[in-house]
Amino acid sequence: MELRDALRTTGSVRRFRDQPVDDEVLYAVLDDARFAPSGGNRQSWGVIVVKDPVRRREVAKSYLDAWHDYVAHLLAGVTPFSPLASDEDRLAAASQRGAAESRSVADGFAETLATVPVTLVVTADLSTLAATDRDLDRYHLVGGASIYPFVWSLLLGAHERGLGGVMTTVATRNEPRLQEILDLPATTAVAAIVALGYPESRSTKLTRRPVEAFTTIDTFHGVPFRP
């Protein structure tokens, strides 16, 4: 697969064929992804391949609980878990929790996470992250730059081998529960859950904003960058 094609067609896949993924294939995906860049080449990521049915169900339950909170935000008309959320936004979302649960569908991704062919929990070793925004008086995100390129490489490597998948951070809302389920040390954060498998279908026409919509010259309010 040409790199340009891979970059433009590696969209999120949440529905998979009932076909197992061989460990050899998954290992090859991980073997390629490990060359992702990271701060100081510390490679602070870890991956747990969740195979035990009981643990898979418990991870899925934690995800679904957080997913209901996510949907509740949408029903309240606010950005889910926004770092800039006001107290009013949080209360509005909380008031929609019951409505969110009632919209649950049996065959939804959140409801069937325990049955996906491959469940990966990607972790971050907080003791080795260089989070240069640690002391800023705002939401902290820079440390993820040493983790999420690895996740993206996972998805690209999966695509190369005919697999599809999705990275989701929803379950991190219930990180304490995930730490119990997966025996995670206190200094280890849950960066994402990645579901992989052979896709039922794959979108080849992804919709994204044009370059001019998010790139400016010289300042945040500068003129749009164009060729």
pLDDT computed for residue 205 by the predictor: 83
The answer to whether residue 216 is domain-embedded is no
pLDDT at 73: 98
Within a domain: 221: no
* pLDDT, tens digit, 9 for 90 and up, residues 151-183: 999 999 999 999 999 999 999 999 999 999 999
Q: Provide the CATH number for the domain around residue 74.
A: 3.40.109.10
Cα of 211 vs its chain's centroid, Å: 23
The answer to whether residue 48 sits within a structural domain is yes
Structure token digits, residue 165:
């998948």
Q: What is the pLDDT of residue 95?
A: 98
Contact 110, 64 (CB under 8 A): yes
- Mean pLDDT estimate for the chain: 97
- Which three-class secondary structure string do you get for 154-223? HHHHHHHCCCEEEEECHHHHHHHHHHHHHCCCCCEEEEEEEEEECECCCCCCCCCCCHHHHCECCCCCCC
Residue 22, token pair as written in the block: 């061989």
In this model, does residue 204 exceed pLDDT 80?
Answer: no
pLDDT for position 83: 96
Angle between helical axes of 148-160 and 23-33 (0-180°, round to 10): 130
> Does 165 reside within a domain?
yes
What mean pLDDT is predicted for residues 88-115?
A: 97
Share above pLDDT 90 across residues of the chain, in percent, rounded to a whole number? 97
Residue 220 lies in a domain: no
Residue pLDDT, tens place only, 210-219: 999 999 999 9
Q: Residue 100: inside a domain, yes or no? A: yes
Mention every residue, 6+ apart, whose C-beta is less than 8 A from residue 150: 33, 34, 36, 38, 43, 45, 122
Q: How much is the pLDDT for 202? A: 87
Q: Among candidates 102, 114, 109, 111, which has minimal Cα distance to 56? A: 114
pLDDT of residue 96: 98
Whether residue 13 has pLDDT greater than 80: yes
Amino acid present at 167: M
Strand partners, 164: 197
Residues 21-34, mean pLDDT to the nearest whole number: 98
Q: How many domains is the chain partitioned into structurally? A: 1
Q: What is the pLDDT of residue 154?
A: 98
Here the tokens at position 124 are 């971050």
Whether residue 52 contacts residue 181, with contact meaning beta carbons closer than 8 Å, is answered with: no
Whether residue 1 lies inside any domain: the answer is: no
| Range with the poorest average pLDDT among 1-15, 60-74, 175-189 | 1-15
> What is the domain range of residue 90?
10-202
Q: Output the pTM of the full model.
A: 0.95
Residue 108 belongs to some domain of the structure:
yes
Q: Which amino acid is at 93?
A: A
